[in-house]
Structure 1
Amino acid sequence: MRKQIAAANWKMNLTLQQGEELLKGILANAKTLNENQQVIFAVPSPYLQAANTIVGETKNNFVAAQNIYSKKSGAYTGEVSVEMLQSLNIQFAVIGHSERREYFGESNTFLADKVNIALENNITPIFCCGEPLEVREAEGQNAFVAKQLEESLFHLSSEEIKKVVIAYEPIWAIGTGKTATSEQAQEIHQYLRSVIANKYGATTADEISILYGGSVKAANAKELFSQPDIDGGLVGGAALKVDEFVSIIDALN
């Protein structure tokens, strides 16, 4: 049974004190998770240790880095290495978020290197993919996301790719006023799973969690998560509010 996941991406928000208060509020109010459910908090790098201390041994709650570098160590000022994450007992890292691709020019091949080093060091990649508005309007989304998977993930073995969490981000539905329906979200998730199945087989594809990352909030989480190929959400703004994110956690199947 694949994991149902509510992942919070705080992005570049909150002070340390605000973040600690948010985490404590969510953990105090969220439901007890089932064995196949996980909550993951992707916090800014300066807060990783504090967040991990708060999350501690709570059942199936984890902390993630928002980014890692493709090298293990060296003269890469400002970057975060897998060794640093390991020393903090961080088990997850977001890789290839649309903002990293857009603002920092991260390519599919560069992200493949990040995926490799994460897996080599027992860190689970939360690999982001998704198309911008102009691609969606031209109905080119399937080929676009397939290329992202092929160039960043399809060098992996069957056993390796089963260790990756995929997050689909419809960039055109984030901050544009446009909204993806649950049917549209299910359609692209089903397509992503079919692309993986064509490469690795249906059994492997069915073991991979695929999260939806297009403005998930309390009001739409239950409907989205009820779709057969949507295994949870990568949540931005709504993850910064205790009540909102608790409701999203509660919406996990």
Structure 2
Amino acid sequence: MKKYLIGNWKMNKTLQEATEFIKYLLPQLEAIKKDIDNSSLNLMLAPSFVHLFPINELIYNDSFIQLAAQNCHHETQGAFTGEVSATMLASVGVDCVIIGHSERRIYQKETNDLLLSKIKKVLAAGMRPLLCCGESMEQRNAGEHKAAVHQQLKESLIDLTPLEIQKLLIAYEPVWAIGTGQVASLEVVVEMHDFIRNILSDQYDILSDQYDRLGEQVPILYGGSCNPKNAGAIFGCPNVNGGLIGSAALQADHFMEIITALLKA
């Protein structure tokens, strides 16, 4: 299965800082181009909305980097001051949109029903949705971590067609490990990625005889304080098809180390 690495910059970097990052990264990628195969690796960056177009201009001729967005609105257009629609993102070259990041679930109170609407808009605009799921520490301590993730996936992915499922990406991000420096143990990573894979297989493998084992083809990424030191071990776990990288993606040299670790996994 193809590997995926997405650098989520969140609300960081001025345009000058973002430009310097890209100008450093591109020669580094060129140096390892022989080890990178478009058929086996998808590399994406998710900058702030205001940086999407200028960064796309910088990476336009580079076939190894794609553009991702950190969010989109659940309506196509309208009187929603300050919001950005999926069609707007597609028009500036975005390939993938992060949906339901834990920070938006917490701070913007995004619900599973709302995220389903966003996923549908992303798909309709011709882009790939990356749905984030994960439990809080309270849910894990109460033994409710699997039930919480199951509910997120079930309610946010209702009625997707086989063709839509083929464009879907999932990221498991334990909320208690986001931006905290606290990393899930490899046992937890294996347990939850296996659990998510089983959910996807149970929901989608029987949808259509035209698509063989559809649920097993959905990439599952790990997100949660992944860094150059632990990336190799995490990417080596079964059912881990890459990473959604936060703070470690803000430094180009660290991001390159994680890219290398994924290529070796």
TM-score range normalised by the length of the shorter chain: over 0.9
Structure 1, 30-39 or 127-136: larger mean CA deviation: 30-39
Deviation at 1:138, TM superposition (A): 1.2
- List 4+ stretches of structure 1 deviating above 4 A: none
- 1:149 is the counterpart of 2:159: no
Q: 1:87 to 1:63 in 2, by over 3 A?
A: same
Letter in 1 for 2:7: A
Provide TM-score, normalisation by structure 2. 0.92
1:78-93 to 2 correspondence within 5 Å? 78-93=82-97
- Of residues 202, 214, 222 in structure 2, which corresponds to 1:198? 202
- Of residues 98, 116, 127 in structure 1, which corresponds to 2:131? 127
Matched with 1:136 is 140
Deviation at 1:176, TM superposition (A): 4.0
Matched with 1:36 is 40
Question: 2: distance between equivalents of 1:122 and 1:97?
Answer: 20
Letter in 2 for 1:228: P
Structure 1, 151-160 or 243-252: larger mean CA deviation: 151-160
Deviation at 1:238, TM superposition (A): 0.4
Provide TM-score, normalisation by structure 1. 0.96
Matched with 1:63 is 67
Question: 1: distance between equivalents of 2:176 and 2:64?
Answer: 32
Question: 1: distance between equivalents of 2:252 and 2:217?
Answer: 30
- Of residues 187, 210, 233 in structure 1, which corresponds to 2:243? 233
Letter in 2 for 1:53: E
Question: 2: distance between equivalents of 1:177 and 1:12?
Answer: 18
Question: 2: distance between equivalents of 1:161 and 1:67?
Answer: 19
- Of residues 166, 174, 177 in structure 2, which corresponds to 1:173? 177
Matched with 1:76 is 80
Deviation by residue 1:106-129 (Cα, 9 ceiling, x = unmatched): 100000000001111111111111
Structure 1 residue runs without a partner (length 5+) = none
- Of residues 228, 238, 241 in structure 2, which corresponds to 1:218? 228
Equivalent residues of 1:49, 1:88 under 8 A apart? yes
Matched with 2:6 is 7
Letter in 1 for 2:5: A
State the SS of the aligned residue for 1:58: coil
Equivalent residues of 2:172, 2:222 under 8 A apart? yes
Deviation by residue 1:93-149 (Cα, 9 ceiling, x = unmatched): 111111111000110000000000111111111111111110011121111101000
Question: 1: distance between equivalents of 2:180 and 2:256?
Answer: 25
Identity of aligned residues (%): 40
Aligned residues: 252
- 1:109 is the counterpart of 2:109: no
User: Cα RMSD (Å) of the superposition?
Assistant: 1.3
Question: 1: distance between equivalents of 2:25 and 2:81?
Answer: 34
Question: 2: distance between equivalents of 1:90 and 1:96?
Answer: 17
Matched with 2:208 is none
Equivalent residues of 1:3, 1:231 under 8 A apart? yes
Deviation by residue 1:176-206 (Cα, 9 ceiling, x = unmatched): 4532112211210110010011111181122
Question: 2: distance between equivalents of 1:55 and 1:45?
Answer: 16
Structure 1, 176-185 or 207-216: larger mean CA deviation: 176-185
1:156-167 to 2 correspondence within 5 Å? 156-167=160-171
Equivalent residues of 1:136, 1:172 under 8 A apart? no
Equivalent residues of 2:181, 2:225 under 8 A apart? no
Structure 2 residue runs without a partner (length 5+) = 206-211
Matched with 2:51 is 47
